[in-house]
Amino acid sequence: MTDRRTLLAGALLALSLRPAAATPEDEAAAVRAFTGGAPLRAGRVELDIPPLVENGNTVPLKVTVQSPMTAADHVTAIAVFNEKNPQPQVITARFGPRAGRAELATHMRLATSQTILAVAAMSDGSFWSASAEVVVTLAACIES
Amino acid sequence: MTWLLALLLGTALAQPRSGALDMSRELQALQADDSANPGMLWVQEGEALWQRPEGRAAKACADCHGAAPASMRGVAARYPAWDTASGAPLDLAGRIQSCRSQHQQAPPLARESEPLLALSAYVGLQSRGLPVTPPEDPRLAPARARGEALFRERRGQLNLSCAQCHEERAGLRLGGSLVPQGHANGYPQYRAEWQALGSLQRRLRNCMVGVRSVAPAYGAADYVEIELFLAQRGAGLPVEAPAVRP
Amino acid sequence: MARVLLNLPRSAAKGSVIEIRCLIMHPMESGFRPGVNGSILARDIITRFSCDYDGEEIFHAELSPAIAANPFISFTTVATASGTLRFTWEGDDGFRQTETRALTVT
């Protein structure tokens, strides 16, 4: 069994070793890598994520994009970014007209309260986005 | 004021309330969706284990019990139950262990091992939606009473009892977290905190370590006694296994 | 072999959109967490998920450490013809797992 001193030392180490969070610049760079610098337009993207999260380890997330999903006009990719996890990327999914609908759902991690950004790349070269603020409450009792 | 008075007096629960009701709408949806609830990964494994011959007897659970959806319906809702052979109460995982050693003559599965969690989740699922129905077996009464005493006993360096948080302060907040009534109707359950499925005994150990007390080893009689009391205290709540909790 | 839970219909009407939901048991160790002795646990994640429909890739996703343990992914596809859907998860330390499901299109 672990004694208290070890636990305390472990907790302090955990704090000191905690990696620096991604910065807004890191996120902007990751978004630029996805868009190639094209401007983000607001709209057409719906980001469904709980506004208040009891534990950041498993957070359901769904992105839906308005698109006819035809050969001529479809979503080619959906990417999700975050501000304050250690890295800005969450998921990047590639779509084609065979998807039928531009929908993506997953479960993500949130290191802390922050804004989540979803970006959709369209076949006409435009990029659309939506963002949502998520508050992660601090758990009082955790397994040690 | 009435509730404040009730809190101060430390009265027992008027109405059991499942922790699921106090989760976010999104986590409730996650629990209810069998194609997204990660606990179903363990259920699927348990279903495979149910069919697999084991031990010197080369028998599968299904060889004696048949199809679990019929034979195991309501079983998890009744555990812990009295075990005549050992003359002691057994929880569901203990019953699976005992079946395995007696009838399959197979090496024991450790508490909290993946196969035991998987079988517990599969059997638990067969009672989903049924009310927790502790047996009215008088032989269980002394152990249940010991369980209640353990629930109300202050322990550890924080000198806290289970009841001080989960009865007297249930519904209030500790930090950002709601203090739940601490019912057992969802186990084994997928906790986001664990990023895995775990048993009620694992959760009880968390609390014991949390108040800086010495937690007995897995499978100890203390746990089964507390489980007996919790089943009675949460009688009537729907079985939610495999539940999802933060 | 990691446990996998795939939810998709066995059959679908031609031209209809079907939803495919995938769960796989995997720790998604982020590479940022200290272990019990304080040293950082090595990253061990699934980095790529893909779905082929009769040999043609219809969906893929690149995953990061920000995806929760036991990754869940849900997406859709148009039921074009009876055939085989092949799901592949690839990750750190040479992790690779493939599952197939038959789809009957009527």
Interface check B196 vs C, CB under 8 A: yes
CB under 8 Å to A52, separation ≥6 — which residues?
A134, A135, A137, B24
Fold of A21-136: Immunoglobulin-like (2.60.40)
Cα dihedral value C68, C70, C75, C80, nearest 10: 160
Residues B144, B29 share a domain: yes
Alpha-carbon gap, residue B77 to B75, rounded angstroms = 5
Question: Are residue B112 and residue B192 in the same domain, yes or no?
Answer: no
Q: Which amino acid is at B100?
A: R
In a domain, B219, yes or no: yes
Q: Is B207 an annotated catalytic residue?
A: yes
**C63 touching A, CB under 8 A?**
yes
Q: Kindly indicate the confidence band of residue C1, based on its pLDDT and cuts at 50, 70 and 90.
A: confident
Which residues from C are below 8 Å from A119, CB to CB? none
DSSP A95: -
pLDDT at position A141 is 76
Q: What is the mean pLDDT of chain C?
A: 97
Contacts of C among chains (3+ CB pairs under 8 A):
A, B
- Using an 8 Å Cβ cutoff, are C76 and C16 in contact? no
Average pLDDT, chain A: 88
Amino acid found at B149 = A
Residues A21-33, mean pLDDT to the nearest whole number: 88
Residues C72, A106: C-beta atoms closer than 8 Å: yes
Task: Report pTM.
Answer: 0.92
**pLDDT score, position B177:** 85
Q: Total domain count for chain C?
A: 1
* pLDDT for position A20: 57
CB atoms within 10 A of CB A8: 11
Which residue in A129, A132, A112, A111 sits closest to A120, CA to CA?
Answer: A129
Q: pLDDT grade, residue A144 (50/70/90)?
A: low
State yes or no: pLDDT of A18 exceeds 80.
Answer: no
* CA C50/CA C100 separation, integer angstroms: 12
Does the beta carbon of C41 lie under 8 angstroms from any beta carbon of chain A? no
Q: What is the pLDDT of residue B14?
A: 73
Tell me, yes or no, whether B162 lies in a domain. Answer: yes
Considering the domain architecture, whether residues B145 and B114 belong to the same structural domain is answered as: no
- In this prediction, residue A17 carries a pLDDT of 44
Q: What's the token pair of residue B175?
A: 């930090």
Contacts of B8 (CB under 8 A, 6+ apart): none
The answer, for B29 touching chain C at a CB cutoff of 8 Å, is no
pLDDT digits (tens, 9 = 90+) for A47-61: 999 999 999 999 999
* Residue A8: pLDDT band with limits 50, 70, 90: very low
Residues in C closer than 8 angstroms to B196, CB to CB, are 69-70
Domain end, chosen from B76, B104, B125, is at: B125
Beta-bridged to residue C47, according to DSSP, are: none
Among candidates A87, A106, A107 on the partner chain, residue whose Cβ is nearest the Cβ of C65: A87
HSE-up of residue C18 (Cα within 13 Å, Cβ side)? 23
Please list, in sequence order, all residues whose beta carbon lies within 8 angstroms of the beta carbon of residue B113, skipping any fewer than 6 positions away: none
pLDDT at B3: 47
Residue A19 has pLDDT above 80, yes or no: no
pLDDT at A132: 98
Res. A10: pLDDT tops 70: no
Q: Using CA atoms, how far apart are residues B239 and B185, in angstroms rounded to an integer?
A: 5
Domain boundaries along the sequence of chain A: 21-136
The residues, any chain, with a CB within 8 Å of residue C19's CB and separated by 6 or more, are: A103, C7, C8, C74, C75, C76
Whether B49 and B114 share a structural domain: yes
State which H helix or E strand residue A47 sits in. strand A45-48
Q: How far apart are CA C51 and CA C57, in angstroms?
A: 6
H/E element, A77? strand A75-82
Chain A partners of C65 at a C-beta cutoff of 8 Å?
Answer: 85-87, 109
pLDDT in tens, C11-42: 999 999 999 999 999 999 999 999 889 999 99
Nearest CA in chain A to B216: A1
What pLDDT does C36 receive? Answer: 87
Per-residue pLDDT of chain B (246 residues; tens, 9 = 90+): 444 444 444 445 678 999 999 999 999 999 999 999 999 999 999 999 999 999 999 999 999 999 999 999 999 999 999 999 999 999 999 999 999 999 999 999 999 999 999 999 999 999 999 999 999 999 999 999 999 999 999 999 999 999 999 999 999 998 888 899 999 999 999 999 999 999 999 999 999 999 999 999 999 999 999 999 999 999 999 999 999 999
Contact B143, B223 (CB under 8 A): no
For B50, the domain range is: 39-125
Query: Number of folded domains in chain B?
Result: 2
Query: Nearest residue of A to residue B33 by CA position?
Result: A60
Residue A85 Cα to chain centre, angstroms:
9
Q: Does residue B72 contact residue B64 with C-beta atoms inside 8 Å?
A: no
Buried b vs exposed e over A105-132: b needs ≥16 C-beta within 10 Å? bbbbbbbebbebbbbbbbbeeebbbbbb
B29 and B144 in one domain?
A: yes
Domain boundary among the residues B58, B93, B125 is at: B125
Residues B166 and B114 in one domain: no
Which pLDDT band, with edges at 50, 70 and 90, does A102 fall under?
Answer: very high
DSSP state, residue B59: B
Based on the domain organization, do B144 and B102 belong to the same domain?
A: no
Give domain status of residue B80, yes or no: yes
Do the beta carbons of residue B144 and residue B91 sit within 8 Å?
no
Are the beta carbons of C7 and B44 separated by less than 8 Å? Answer: no
- How near does any CA of chain C get to the CA of B195, in Å? 6
Please name the amino acid found at residue A76.
T
Spell out which residues of chain A touch residue C63, defining contact as CB-CB under 8 Å: 91
pLDDT digit string (tens) for A59-99? 999 999 999 999 999 999 999 999 999 999 999 999 999 99
Inter-chain CB proximity A54 and B27 less than 8 Å: yes
Q: What is the DSSP string of C7-65?
A: E--SEE-TT-EEEEEEEE----B-S--B-TTSSBPPPB-EEEEEEEETTEEEEEEEE-T
Q: What is the CATH number of the domain that holds C69?
A: 2.60.40.10
Q: Please list every residue in chain A whose beta carbon sits closer than 8 Å to the beta carbon of residue C61.
A: 91-94, 104
Whether residue B115 is found in the same domain as residue B185: no
Q: Which tokens go with B50?
A: 């149910």
* Beta strand pairing call for B244-245 and B189-191: parallel
Instruction: For the beta carbon of residue B72, count every other beta carbon within 10 angstroms.
Output: 20
Q: Say how far apart CA B66 and CA C70 lie, in whole Å.
A: 30
Q: Among partner residues A53, A138, A143, which is closest to B193 by beta-carbon distance?
A: A143
pLDDT per position as a tens digit, C75-97: 999 999 999 999 999 999 999 99
Closest CA to B219 of B207, B205, B230: B205
- Of the residues B61, B162, B165, B207, which is catalytic? B207
Are residues B212 and B115 part of one domain?
no
- Asked if A54's CB is within 8 angstroms of B246's CB, the reply is yes
Do B101 and B44 belong to one domain? yes
User: Residues of C with CB below 8 A from B195's CB?
Assistant: 27-28, 68-70
| Exposure b/e, C61-73, CB count within 10 A at least 16 = b | bbbbbbbbbbbbb
Final residue before a domain boundary, out of B125, B149, B167: B125
Closest residue to C32, CB basis, from A10, A13, A19: A19
* B204 and B120 in a common domain: no
Cis peptide before B242 (omega within 30 of 0): yes
In this structure, is residue B130 part of a structural domain?
no
